[in-house]
Amino acid sequence: MSERRCDMKNRWRNVVVAFRMSPQEAEDLNVKVALSGLSKQDYLIDCCLKHEIRVVCGKKVAKKMQVYLEAILEELQFMEEGVVPEEEILAPLQHILEILNKDEEKEDLDYGKDII
């Protein structure tokens, strides 16, 4: 049995929540968790409780983005011209672009605060 843990707000987390996913759904979840920089537990709690998911940027997240982008590029290079890529290939790319767009919007807001 795993060790009991206390979270940052001094609450015991001793209830286990489990559910089933298809292999594709599990892979999508793993990509989103890896790109968030959070643990899977924290990511799922934030998603389920409708908290805002904030990506914790750093070397680890940047490396994960690079790995996923290289894998997507490799798959796209082997596709024939004119063939529409499958949803499974484009989903991680879309998620990466959403992260980058949110980060860009945040930087724009931060720059605006400095000017005022």
Q: Into how many domains does the chain fold?
A: 1
Read off the pLDDT of residues 46-84 as tens digits, 9 standing for 90 and up: 888 876 666 667 787 788 888 888 888 888 888 877 788
pLDDT of 36 strictly over 80 = yes
Query: How many C-beta neighbours within 10 Å does residue 45 have?
Result: 15
Question: Where in the sequence is the domain holding 105, given as residue range(s)?
Answer: 5-115
Closest by CA position to 73, among listed 61, 90, 49: 90
Please report, as a single letter, which amino acid is at residue 14.
Answer: N
pTM score, two decimals?
Answer: 0.51
